[in-house]
Amino acid sequence: MIMLLSCEANRWKLGRIVEGWLAPCKIPYVIVIGNGLQHHDAALADVKCTFDEESRELRIDCDDGYDGLSYKVAYGIREITARFSPNYLIKVDDDFIVNPDSLQRFIEVCRGANLDYCGNACVRSLPKYSVYSLDKFRWPENRSPFLLPPNSTCRGGLYFLSAAAMKVISSHMNPALCRYEDVNLSLTLESHKILATNVPVFTDHIQEFLSGKFAAFHDDQRIHSQNKR
């Protein structure tokens, strides 16, 4: 199963994504979009989710922007696990370009090695204050630098989760714990002794992607330039 994380503001590009690489992957997929409600601290089971079979869109009662990323991921994984019980999940953002054949090889590597959580992993050995994308948060309480704890995290744009990892996230991820969804997810898994494994799956360099070495391309240089401005 592929979980494509998107939003209403990017709805214009969904048709191109589906036709361009998502449908050609020949893997069942769900597109997760928030309905714009402010997040709250209700239990995961209390959050309303609506799935449209035709569009494959899962609409979740949470903020649809950066402030709601942890909520969209936690609720999305919980709902997908409950509805479909997939053997694995590929979480991917809508600003990625994916090579279907290379993605299939990445999945085979992860499943063949019985990995639970893998992707472009990075390790922080010491606590670190993050100011990444603070200007994109709408709520004032989310615009202060956040102290990220030491842990191993797969970069949030694209990663693999096993059924066991999905079950842990579904039952234990607290969206309010950390505004950064990838850190929140990795901390939840780490608390259940599931650590990130580095299996590079995407690149920020277009020539590396075109060479076939990676399954996906993410124009991180452009995005960081926008964030600085």
Average pLDDT value over all residues in the chain: 89
pLDDT at position 225: 46
Does any domain span residue 91?
yes
Higher pLDDT, 134 or 150: 150
Residue 47 lies in a domain: yes
Q: What mean pLDDT comes out for the span 58-85?
A: 93
pLDDT of residue 30: 98
Is 131 within a domain? no
Per-residue model confidence (pLDDT) at position 83:
96
pLDDT in tens, 185-202: 999 999 999 999 999 999
**Sole residue written with tokens 């969904």:** 14
pLDDT of residue 219: 79
| Domain containing residue 209: CATH number | 3.90.550.50
pLDDT by residue (tens digit) across 85-121?
999 999 999 999 999 999 999 999 999 999 999 999 9
Residue 24 has pLDDT above 90, yes or no: yes
Q: Give yes or no for a contact between 117 and 80, defined as CB atoms under 8 angstroms apart.
A: no
Q: Is residue 178 part of a domain?
A: yes
Is 206 contained in some domain? yes
What does the alpha-carbon distance between residue 16 and residue 106 come to, in Å, rounded to a whole number?
Answer: 23
Q: Note whether residue 203 is domain-resident.
A: yes
| Higher pLDDT, residue 4 or 141 | 4
Residue 222's pLDDT band (boundaries 50, 70, 90)? low
In the chain, the number of structural domains is 1
CA 144 – CA 171 distance, rounded (Å): 29
Q: Give me the domain span that covers residue 37.
A: 2-120+155-228
**Local confidence band at 217 (pLDDT 50, 70, 90 cut-offs):** very high
Between CA 18 and CA 13 the distance in angstroms is: 9
The whole-number pLDDT of residue 134 equals 79
CA distance 103 to 209: 12
Q: What is the pLDDT of residues 44-66, one digit of tens each?
A: 557 788 999 999 999 998 889 88
Q: What is the pLDDT of residue 139?
A: 79
